[in-house]
Copies of this chain bind each other. A is one copy, B any other.
Amino acid sequence: MIGRLNHVAIAVPDLEAACATYRGALGATVSAPEDLPEHGVTVVFVELPNTKIELLHPFGEASPIASFFEKNPSGGMHHVCYEVEDILAARDRLKSEGARVLGDGEPKIGAHGKPVLFLHPKDFAGTLVELEQA
C-alpha cells in the first residue's frame, strides 16, 4: 500500500542554523523558508536526489510542534511521510487493522497542498507517520 517516502521531517529550534548546516557542512540544496500560518510552521526543504528532508520550525503562538520542543529542546526527527494512491482507502484499511488515525479521521490539506492524515505513534513503534495522497 505505502509508496515512496515523501519526506522525513526534522523539527529544528534554530531554522537559520539548520539551513546553514545542511547547505554548508552537508553541501545540500536547501529551499527558501516558507511560512505556513494555517499549519503553524515554517518549512524548509532539503532536496536530495531521491526524497527530501523537511526542516520544521514553529510559526505563531499555537504551533502544533510546540509540545515536541518541550520534550526535545534540541529538536529531532518529528515524522516520516509515506505516499499513498488513495488516502481514504488507506485510512479504511488502517482502521480495519486497528491503527488509530489522529484528529477526526478526515484528511486535511497538508503543507504540500495535498490530502494528508497522521497516524498514532503508539501504533507505529513510537514513530509519527503521515500519509499523503501523492
A positions within 8 Å CB-CB of B: 1-5, 8, 10-14, 17-18, 21, 24-28, 48-51, 53, 55, 72, 74-77, 80, 82, 93-94, 97-99, 121-127
Contact = CB atoms under 8 A, between A and B. Distances in A.
24 contacts: A1-B26, A2-B26, A3-B48, A4-B48, A5-B8, A5-B53, A8-B80, A11-B126, A12-B126, A17-B125, A21-B124, A24-B97, A25-B93, A25-B94, A25-B123, A27-B93, A48-B82, A51-B51, A55-B125, A74-B121, A74-B126, A76-B121, A77-B80, A77-B126
Total identical chains: 2
A125 B27 contact: no
A125 B74 contact: yes
B50 A4 contact: yes
